[in-house]
Every structure is written in structure tokens, then in C-alpha cells.
Amino acid sequence: MSPWIAFKDGTARIWFHKRLIVWLYLANLVFAAVLLFPLRKLVSEISRTDLADEFVSGFQIDLFVDFWAQHSSALKSLAFSAVGLGILYLIINIFLTGGIVASLAAERQVSLRRFFYSASRYFWRYLRLFVLLAVVVGLVLAGYNLWLDGLVDNLRKDSTTDVASFLWRALAVTLVLVFVSLIMMVFDYAKIRTVVDGRRSVIFATCVAFGFSFRRFLRTVTLFYFNLVIVGILFAIYLIVENQFSNATIGSMVSLFVVQQIFIVSRIWMRLSFFATQMAFYCAATEVLPSPSPTETEPVPQASNEAGANI
């Protein structure tokens, strides 16, 4: 199967399971809303000053620094809360990913109950995969710090122009990003394999995913980066569109909110796209049916209407 066919198959699969997007979007919305009121409270600190008008018409960096100076502890608390919330959201997502991958593998639409059943079924395996991923990425970053960074520093030291110096640094960072993205790709296949083949050993699943990815290197990488490029394009489009909403009228704000939410939905779509398209490719390449392994299916309650579902 070509990457393009896999992409088309995967896209059709996401469309079929579009309710996943709604669930994930709601989760995102609810979590983000936690900080909505502290954020509003902070912004309201300038809302009774003359600076408010200037902030409405643009973002004055020097005035913001004033604001920062006066409210640094509140801003820091907000930033720490955001990161803390992000970490919690990451853990929740480790849980949800099991449901996502299992749902995408299913031939029938899944209920919320089944989604959560799958999520809980694969949670510990996915958590182990995450730990493994963190270790591998950590090793890569450590390698960068211990070896590549020094090498680049020496090359930069010998660079007689800042163009060359910048390009050396950019090359090093790009290398690390490519390496990390390839690792992410391998772990995507490991997650898919964990569900599709029903294996419990995450190390074995990762090794197999590694072998799978690199035996079909050109196609797996093409598919992965095709998805990644789309994410980049979406982000660029968003930045351009957002820049058009310079005034703060109600109409403009509502329109901007709609655009922002469309962008968030598109990002969620793309997150699913990585799984769905790679799953399509994996199943076609290994000739495995795109559904969870029968040995891994939940014990279906007798009374359930969805007794025949593959989840």
C-alpha cells in the first residue's frame, strides 16, 4: 500500500469514527476551561486602566513588561498551573489513546462505554510505552547535550560567519527533531501493534514496530511526514488568519473564537490521522485485519446490543 492510499484509508476511517473528535474536543475544552477564570481575573487587572485601550488595538511589549513586573507572581502561578494541567492532560491522553486506537481499529462505530473500556484495557501497556518513549527521547536529548552540542559548538566556533554558525545549530536541532519524530513514528506503530496484534510486551511491540518501520522506511517516513507537513500548514494558516482579527469587537471576537476552535478540531483530526493512516498502512502491510486482536476483545456482556462488535 502506498502512503497516499494509506492516507486516504485513514482519513475515511477518521470520518467513520468522527464522534472520537467530538469526545476529544470536549476533553480539551473542559481542561482548558479550568484556567479560564484565573486568566480572566488576571486580564481584568488592566481592564480598569488606560492601558486597556492600547492592548485592545495591539500588543505593546513594553507595557506588557510593566504588567509582568506588577503581576509576576500571578503570571508565574498561571504558567505553572498551565504546565501542571498539561501534564495531567498528558496522563489522561495516555489513557484515551488506548480508546482512540482501538476505536479506529474497529469496523463499527463505538460507544463511549466501549471507548472507555478499551482505554482502560490498554492503559497500562500505553503507560509503559510512554515510559519507554520518555527514556528513548531522554537518551537522544542526552546524546545531543553530551556529544552533538559540543561538536556543533566547535563547528560554530570555527565558523567565520553567523550564517554558517546559525546553519550548524539549525542542522543539529533539525537532526534531533528528525530523530525524535522518527522515534515517535516507531512508537505510533508500537501502539497500533499493541491493539491490532494484542501483544502485552511493549518492548517486543516496540522492537517489532522498529523493524516494521525501517523495513519500509521510505513509505512509513513519507506517510508520517505527510501528516506532519499538514499540521505545519494548518498552523501557518491559523497564524495568518488570526492576524486578520485585529479589532476586539464582539463580532470579530466570536469569529476568531470560531476560527480557533476549528483549528483545535483540525489538530485533533490530525492527531487521529497519525494513528488512522499508520494503522491503515500497518494492516495492509502485515495483512492483518484492522480490528483489535480477538484475544484482546472485551468479554461482551450477554445483554448488550453491541455483542458482536469487535471491541
Partner 1 sequence: MNCHQVGLQRLSRSMLLCVVFGATTSPAPGQTTIFEKPLSSRIANYDIKVTLDDEAKRIDGDMVLTWNNPSDNRIDELQFHLYANAFKNAKSTFLREWLRSRAASSDSSKPGESPWAKGDDDVWGWIRITRMEVDGEDVTERIAFFQPDDDNTDDETVIRVPLANPIPPRESARIQLAFQSRIPKCKIRTGWWHDDFFMMVHWFPKIGVYEPPGVRFVPADAPRGRWNCHQFHIATEFYADFGVYDVEITLPEKYVVGTTGLILEERSNGDGTKTIVAHAEDVHKFAWVADAQFHESTDVWRSPADGHEVDIRLLYQPGHRSVVDKYIESTKNTLDHVDSWLGPGAYPYPNITVVDPRAASGAGGMEYPTLFTGDAFWWAEQLFGDGLRIVEMVTIHEFMHQFWYGMVASNEFEEAWLDEGLTVYSENRISAELFGESTSAINWWGASASGAGLSRTGLALSRSKNDGSIAEPTFAHWHRAIGLNMAHNKASLMLKTLENYLGRERFDRIMRTYFNRWKFRHPCRNDFIAIANEVAGENLDWFFDQIIEQPTSLDYAVASIANVPVDAFDEGLSQYEFEDPEKGEDEEEDEEEEQDEESKPHQSTVVFRRVGEVVFPMEILVEFSDGTIVRETWNGQGRVKTYQFTRPAKVVRAAIDPDRKVPLDVDLLNNSLHIEENKEVINKYTLKGFFWMQSLLQLFSIFG
- In the bound state with partner 1, the residue whose beta carbon lies nearer, of 89 and 204, is 89
Q: How far is the CB of 118 from partner 1 (least distance, A)?
A: 15
| Apex 52 CA angle, 50 and 58, nearest 5 | 120
CA-closest candidate to residue 188, choices 257, 270, 120, 258: 270
Q: How far is the CB of 308 from partner 1 (least distance, A)?
A: 30
Cell 509503559 belongs to residue: 128
Q: How far is the CB of 253 from partner 1 (least distance, A)?
A: 5
Q: How far is the CB of 211 from partner 1 (least distance, A)?
A: 23
- In the bound state with partner 1, the residue whose beta carbon lies nearer, of 1 and 127, is 127
CA distance 46 to 38: 14
- In the bound state with partner 1, the residue whose beta carbon lies nearer, of 39 and 300, is 39
Question: Helix 112-143 and helix 19-33: axis angle, to 10°?
Answer: 70
Q: How far is the CB of 304 from partner 1 (least distance, A)?
A: 28
Q: How far is the CB of 306 from partner 1 (least distance, A)?
A: 26
Asked if residues 222 and 1 have their Cβ atoms less than 8 Å apart, the reply is no
User: What's the number of CA atoms in the CB half-sphere (13 Å) around residue 157?
Assistant: 6
Asked if residues 51 and 59 have their Cβ atoms less than 8 Å apart, the reply is no
Q: How far is the CB of 250 from partner 1 (least distance, A)?
A: 8
- In the bound state with partner 1, the residue whose beta carbon lies nearer, of 207 and 239, is 239
Pick left, alpha or beta for residue 287 (phi over 0 → left; psi -120 to 50 → alpha; otherwise beta): left
CA distance 289 to 105: 9
- In the bound state with partner 1, the residue whose beta carbon lies nearer, of 183 and 309, is 183
Q: How far is the CB of 300 from partner 1 (least distance, A)?
A: 27
CA distance 205 to 129: 9
Q: How far is the CB of 175 from partner 1 (least distance, A)?
A: 18
The residues near 88 (Cβ < 8 Å, ≥ 6 apart) are 31
Residue 245's H or E segment, with its range, is: none
- In the bound state with partner 1, the residue whose beta carbon lies nearer, of 153 and 197, is 153
- In this structure, the number of other CB atoms found within 10 A of the CB of residue 295 comes to 8
- In the bound state with partner 1, the residue whose beta carbon lies nearer, of 66 and 107, is 66
DSSP per-residue codes, 63-108 = HHHHHHHHSHHHHHHHHHHHHHHHHHHHHHHHHHHHHHHHHHH-SS
- In the bound state with partner 1, the residue whose beta carbon lies nearer, of 147 and 166, is 166
- In the bound state with partner 1, the residue whose beta carbon lies nearer, of 32 and 141, is 32
